Structure formats: structure tokens, C-alpha cells
Structure 1
């Protein structure tokens, strides 16, 4: 293997596992990222382990039908459109709307999402929620589901069975803070604060705003977490119980637990369903090899984590992309966007260089928004050029092989990047390209870090 290429071998490894792992990681990567990945608590640990809910390493939970690759990419574009709309208008497009939520099912909140299983209440009840760096409010479905609840994996949380639950008054300062966290003005029901949040795909949750004890691991818990107790929830959220908001807003779990964890968290997204990763709060376990890049706050999207791309290389060759292409609109890192979106000028340069170095392989039809695809069905081995991203602060991120390709079977394996509509749209560094890195959010320190080899 040359220094400028990553090699994918279609055969057995020394441990006899690569054939299965390869099939999951490369041949069906598109299916994998569509399915839900679960973060489970490690007994007596401070990390939450990540395994794939449809993979061979995890079988204790019921399986759900995975969306098709086309559905995954369509849902991903819906999320990207919403992010661009929020940033271009200086906030959430729903910010000026009423708290009334339409009774319409939407597509999934994001796609290729990762979720964490944590305990709510006393005694604790496990609830599996999407964790999202692009959202702020944490909410779960709650009994008695006054209006509507969708089917979820665990029993729906019952606040009346928890000794640590309490409602938040609609006259409280915390209730008024919901406007910035949800984009909707809260309402009142019998003196209890009522939240309403709607996402770009028309998925929504409405319910009581409350306080509760949340148990993150067997040794870590946090009391009086402000969260939404959903009584009217619609949308294709799969079988998760709700969402955990990891954004910058004062209402996010990152801000609420700041005295305990110092606004510091990290995660590692596994390369395949056969591997494991984690989500962690606090500095413990952060690798010394992590490279940091400054993370700024943008007034048009104050909840997002902005980082600065300064360049891209393919096969060791730096691309000729003017620095202004990246700096004009900026870039956010997002755990809920699957495919990295680049300014068209930058994507065109990336695509051209990648195609030149992959010219010996037969091409395949485009896969939705992915336009550079190959047919590897007759190949015994494939070498792909390395792709490196350079960020402000002299940070060099060597994208893992699992973050370069996105596939719909061996006959349609595609470059896992896509262009924005124009160079003026914010770029998004998505979760496919974050795989295997320890991604560190030092929110208080104003930086985001990448450490190679965080998980497999």
C-alpha cells in the first residue's frame, strides 16, 4: 500500500473477520448509516459504548426495518436544507411562528443518527435518544400521551412513577428560555410550562416542560435536568424515545451540566456495525494526541459549532482551492448530518482529483446526491486515495477509509461528499467523515479536537 492510498481487501483477515466486517463497512455502508447505532452504558465506567443496533455485535434489542439508501440521503438533504435556512435567516425559520404544532408526520430528524441510552427518573428507566450537536432541547415521550405517541423501543416514560420528577412553572425564567432553544414561544397549561418544537422535516414534539434526574452511566447522574416530557409527538424517529440536545444554548444538556463536566464532551463513531464507539462527558479519557481547531460562535446560528476548513488534499496532493471559498460562509461540524457538504467550487476540485486517481475502476450510476460512484463487484482489492482535511490551527485530519466511501452494495460505491447549492451556503462536516476519530468539544475553551484511532 502506498503512502497516498488506503487499501480495502476483499478477503479474510488473520482473525478471519475482515470479510464480514468489510461487507458491513464498505459494501453496505449506506445501509449501516441509515440504521440506528446505540450507545450503551459500560458497567462501572464513565463512557457510554456505541454499537450498531443492526450489527452482529448487538442483539439484545429488537430490530427495526432500516430505511433505504435513497431515503437516508433524502432525509439527510432535508436536514441540510433546514440548517441552511436557519443560518440564512439568522435563526430557526419557526422562531416567529406560533406554538401550535401541525398534526402531520414528517421524515426522520436527520439520518444516520447515533443515539444514547440513558436513565430517566427515580427509579431510573432506560430511554434511548438521538444525540445531536445541532439541537438544544432534550425531550422524551411521556405517558399518558395525551395526544399522540409513536412506537418506541423501551416502555414510554411515566413521570408519575418517578419520585424525582417535577413540572416547571409557566411563569419561571426557565420557561421563557425555551424560545431560544426551540424557536417557539412556550405556552401554559394549568400553570405548567408547555414546550413545542418542530424540525425541518415537519417532525415535532409538544409537551410539559419538567425537571428530572438523568443517569448517564452507572457512576454518573445529574439532578434537575430541564427537559421536555412529550405528550404529542409525530415523525419518523424510528424507535427512539426522543432527542438529547448537545448544542450551545443554555437549555442544552452541555450547558445545564457545565458545573459538573465543564462544557466538555467527546464521542467516537464506529467505522462499522461490527465495531464499538462511545459518548463521554468531561475531560477524563481525552487522548494527548488530539489536535484542536478553534470553534467560533456565529450570531446567525449561535447553537452550532463553527470550525474553519483551510484546505483539502487527495492522495497527498493539496488542492488548489482559494481560502475565501471556505471562509465566506464558514463550516459547522454536525453529528446529525451524514454526508459532508462542501462549497461547489471545493467539491468540484475534490471530485476531479478523486476521479483521476480512481480512473482504473469501472464507474456506476449516481446514488441520489452522490455523483461519483464505482462498481467494485468484480474487484478482489481496491485502493482509494487518502483524503485529508486541514483546519485552522494547523490541524490535519486524515479521513478514515470508512469516511471516504458510501455504498449501496459492491456495484455502487460512491465518494461520500456532496456539494452545496452555492458557495455562499455554510459547509457541514458530517458524521461519515468523523468516523473512528475521538471528536472532542471543548465548548468553554472554544475549540473542537480530532484524535485518530478513537475507536474502530
Structure 2
């Protein structure tokens, strides 16, 4: 500004009007630049709010609603945390990579490694790539099972089909939060016979000496559950109508693996044995959920595909090789309102699966490289931090009261544009290590995965009846 004033004096003498005019122009430019960094294409966030609270602020689902309250299994709202502790961020991300590897193997049709000791003990040969789900997820709900009902904390997982809980008598069970389900104490319990259609649909099954159906499920992280296929009454809400009689599930009596202290797992995949499919006659073909922005808050899981007015939909894609998954077509990404330099074909070639149990979204290598470049260009004001496991674009916010982060929006086929919440842009392990919450597949041929971090705060609607998937902003409020 001083040099501008000197130039104004040099030829015509001191001119206050000129100086003031130039000051006004420069001030307006600075204000415009500041408005741009604080506009709808940017998030301005207090650094003090980056880390989740250690106190649960979750609200309970309405008593007259069949919606189930969803909490993060490692957060302060989780009853599992009190006894089981919480893994480190590096451990969570390393396990996430195991799940992603399993998804890629399953879709590619590659053999899935099975624990030979357990396979030998059971005397079975599991399919190479069918019927092998993907490992436990990150969010839990409470359901009632049996008559009279007993409540159980279970992981819900869109990448699995069969629902199960651990049961008495148990030959080999891991330690869980609640007492085991006791079939002898339920007046509505019955074992599924080997000849039943539900048994015949299972990929890995056998018959007991009593002629009842035995199931076996091996997950991608080598966790495993074995037991009897059974029927009983499932309670999903407080109203008498919120029950499913004759619900088919696994009564596990030989289980091991990385289930934490969860009482079991409920599958929401597309197979006929999943909870979503069995509940379709009562609630409609589909379901929706909202994952909270932080582990100290709550979301919901609701059967039926009721959509909020602001939901934006894209086509649900079906693939014959892995029909249980929910696929959609991601076509592009915007950073700070500008589309990254990756053509839609880069995303469409491998396709994209949406998964509630994968933490970090995986992109084709070319797409991730373009995203990382655009994001880093907008973050040049901040000091870089070391990588965290699979996350290679991290920043140190130490000494900042607030930070300005570029918005990230996902573009889907059909024109649906979904703007991510701030919690879906960064994965924060600590103030000095906040990382872009996306990762590369390492190639352009492996399937892309839309993970649960990017789904936070969105009402995610699986409208199976109309074969579409929708996203509504501020879904948990």
C-alpha cells in the first residue's frame, strides 16, 4: 500500500482521494477473498471441537417409534466401552484395511483364507468367494429377542446377511456384554429343520444328528460363528406392532474373533435371510439410517425406506457376482465447489459399493490422486503432519483457534450431489494429526467403497422397492 501511495505522489503530488480509493478497492478484494474461504464451499471449525467429548450426549429413539438408536461401538455412548476399552486409531484403520481387502477379494472371486484349524475341527469346506462376509462393523443397536424378550447389543452391517447372537449352551464363545441368549427360556423359539428353504439358501450349512440346520459364517478378518439356524420373535420397538414373529437368525454356540463385547451381528444385506429382507413385508422393502457426527452422539436405524424431503437419489446398481452388496455409481467429486480432474469413467470402471462397516472411503488411484491434489492445494496455509496408517494427507492444527477446511461433495449418476458434513472430510486422531478421510485403492481396477465416515449425519435411504439410494442432509437432527 505504501508503494501505491508513493506512485500516486510522484507525478501529481499528494492525492488523498486516490489513496482512499485504492484502499477501498484493496479492502474489498480482501473481504471478497475472506468471504470465499468462509462461504458455502468451506467449513470454518473450532479446533477445540475437533476431538469428540468423553461424555455421552446421545438422545434415545422416540418411544413410539420403531427406529433403533445407533451409537458408535467405541464411543462413550456404547455400553461395550465400559469393559472392553477402545482400540487406537491406527488399529481401527488397520482393521479397516483388512475389511477392504476382504471386499475386494470377494468381488474379484478370489479365494478367501480360512482358519485351517477351525475348518478342520468342523470338517467342512467353505466356498471360495460366496457366503464369506466382511468382518464386524463400527455401529451398534439394541434389539429384543425371544418371549419374554431379552435385549442384546448387536453390530449392524450392510455387508452381511445372516443375523446371529451367541446362545446357550455354548461350546466356545467369546466374552460379551450381556448374558447369552437362552433358547430354553423363550416360549417362541424353534430350530430350523435341514429341509427348510431358509437352510437350503445358506452357502455353508450342515445337518445335526437331530435333523436341524447348522450354519457357519467366516468373516473377512477370520472371525467366525457357528451354530443352529433358528426362529424366534424379534422386537424392534416399544409398540406391540414392532415385532417380527418367526424371525430367522443364527444361534451361535461356537464363536471367535474380533467382535469386541457385542452380543452378535445383524445383517442388512440384500439376501433373503437378512433382517432388511425379512422385515420387508411389515415395513416395506428398504431401510434407512443416520450415523452421528461424533462418537459421543447418536443416530438411528429404521426399517422401511421413508425418505426426508431433502433426499437426493441415485440408482441402486445390481451385480450378479455379489448380489448381497448395495452398489451405486459415483461419478465425480468436488472440492471447494470445483470438480476434481478425474473423469467419470475413472469411477464407473470399477464401480462403487456403499458399506456401513468400512470406515474410510476408498477411491480408484487416479481419482484419489486428483482429490488429494485439490484438497492439499486448498490447505497450504496449514503445516503438514505425519501419515496415519492408510491416511497420507494429514495436517497439524496446533496453535489455531479455528480452521478453514474446503468442502467435499460427491457427485452420483442421475445428478445427485451430496455435500459431506465436516466430520466426513477429516479423520482426526488428535489436533496435531487431522487427515483427509479418503484413501486410494492402489489401482484403478478394484471396486470403490463409500465408507461410513463420509456417511455421517446423512439420512441414508436404501429404497430397495424402487432400486435407488438416497442421501438427505442433517439426517440425525
Query: In the TM superposition, what is the alpha-carbon distance from 1:187 to its structure 2 partner?
Result: 3.7
Pairing partner for 2:211 from 191, 194, 211: 191
- Tell which structure's C-alpha radius of gyration is larger: 2
Report whether the alignment pairs 1:441 with 2:467: no
1:14 corresponds to: none
Report whether the alignment pairs 1:167 with 2:202: no
Is the alpha carbon distance of 1:405 and 1:293 closer, same or farther for their aligned partners in structure 2, counting shifts above 3 Å?
Answer: same
1:13 corresponds to: none
Structure 1, residues 348-384: CA drift from partner, whole Å, max 9, x if none? 0000011111011001110011000011122111010
Structure 1: gaps spanning 5 or more residues: 11-18
Report whether the alignment pairs 1:243 with 2:269: no
1:315 corresponds to: 336
Report whether the alignment pairs 1:124 with 2:149: yes
Q: Which has the higher helix share?
A: 2
Structure 1, residues 96-137: CA drift from partner, whole Å, max 9, x if none? x9994769xxxx964661111000000000011110000000
Is the alpha carbon distance of 1:75 and 1:403 closer, same or farther for their aligned partners in structure 2, counting shifts above 3 Å?
Answer: same
Question: Could you say what secondary structure the match of 2:105 adopts?
Answer: helix
Question: Could you say what secondary structure the match of 1:302 adopts?
Answer: coil
Is the alpha carbon distance of 1:394 and 1:213 closer, same or farther for their aligned partners in structure 2, counting shifts above 3 Å?
Answer: same
2:4 corresponds to: none
2:313 corresponds to: 292
Query: In the TM superposition, what is the alpha-carbon distance from 1:46 to its structure 2 partner?
Result: 2.0
Question: Could you say what secondary structure the match of 2:324 adopts?
Answer: strand
Structure 2: gaps spanning 5 or more residues: 1-37, 123-132
Report whether the alignment pairs 1:265 with 2:309: no
2:354 corresponds to: 333
Larger mean Cα displacement after TM superposition, 169-178 or 367-376: 169-178
Instruction: Return the alpha-carbon distance in structure 2 between the equivalents of residues 258 and 193 of structure 1.
Output: 24
Instruction: Return the alpha-carbon distance in structure 2 between the equivalents of residues 298 and 226 of structure 1.
Output: 25
**Alignment check: 8 A CA contact 1:166 1:212 kept:** yes
Report whether the alignment pairs 1:6 with 2:43: yes
Q: TM-score, normalised by structure 2?
A: 0.84
Instruction: Return the alpha-carbon distance in structure 1 between the equivalents of residues 108 and 443 of structure 2.
Output: 13
Q: How does 1:407-422 map to 2 (within 5 A)?
A: 407-422=428-443
Pairing partner for 1:301 from 305, 322, 325: 322
Report whether the alignment pairs 1:135 with 2:160: yes
Structure 1, residues 27-62: CA drift from partner, whole Å, max 9, x if none? x9xxx9xxx999965422221123446656677983
2:24 corresponds to: none
Instruction: Return the alpha-carbon distance in structure 1 between the equivalents of residues 102 and 43 of structure 2.
Output: 34
Query: In the TM superposition, what is the alpha-carbon distance from 1:236 to its structure 2 partner?
Result: 1.8
**Alignment check: 8 A CA contact 1:76 1:111 kept:** no
1:342 corresponds to: 363
Instruction: Return the alpha-carbon distance in structure 2 between the equivalents of residues 59 and 138 of structure 1.
Output: 20
Query: In the TM superposition, what is the alpha-carbon distance from 1:157 to its structure 2 partner?
Result: 0.6
**Alignment check: 8 A CA contact 1:37 1:50 kept:** no
Question: Could you say what secondary structure the match of 1:115 adopts?
Answer: strand
Q: How does 1:46-57 map to 2 (within 5 A)?
A: 46-52=66-72, 55=75
Instruction: Return the alpha-carbon distance in structure 1 between the equivalents of residues 113 and 245 of structure 2.
Output: 31
Instruction: Return the alpha-carbon distance in structure 2 between the equivalents of residues 332 and 304 of structure 1.
Output: 7
**Alignment check: 8 A CA contact 2:73 2:81 kept:** yes
Report whether the alignment pairs 1:423 with 2:464: no
Question: Could you say what secondary structure the match of 1:136 adopts?
Answer: coil
Is the alpha carbon distance of 1:148 and 1:128 closer, same or farther for their aligned partners in structure 2, counting shifts above 3 Å?
Answer: same
Question: Could you say what secondary structure the match of 1:228 adopts?
Answer: strand
Q: TM-score, normalised by structure 1?
A: 0.88
Aligned residues: 427
Pairing partner for 1:211 from 192, 215, 231: 231
Structure 1, residues 164-210: CA drift from partner, whole Å, max 9, x if none? 1000111222211111xxxx243434211100000111100000010
Larger mean Cα displacement after TM superposition, 63-72 or 221-230: 63-72
**Alignment check: 8 A CA contact 2:59 2:297 kept:** no
Query: In the TM superposition, what is the alpha-carbon distance from 1:93 to its structure 2 partner?
Result: 3.7
Question: Could you say what secondary structure the match of 2:95 adopts?
Answer: helix
1:16 corresponds to: none
1:85 corresponds to: 105
Instruction: Return the alpha-carbon distance in structure 2 between the equivalents of residues 38 and 238 of structure 1.
Output: 21
Instruction: Return the alpha-carbon distance in structure 1 between the equivalents of residues 57 and 165 of structure 2.
Output: 18
**Alignment check: 8 A CA contact 1:292 1:395 kept:** yes
Query: In the TM superposition, what is the alpha-carbon distance from 1:431 to its structure 2 partner?
Result: 0.1
For the aligned residue pairs, the C-alpha RMSD in angstroms reads: 2.6
2:51 corresponds to: 23
**Alignment check: 8 A CA contact 1:111 1:338 kept:** no
Query: In the TM superposition, what is the alpha-carbon distance from 1:339 to its structure 2 partner?
Result: 0.1
Question: Could you say what secondary structure the match of 2:255 adopts?
Answer: strand
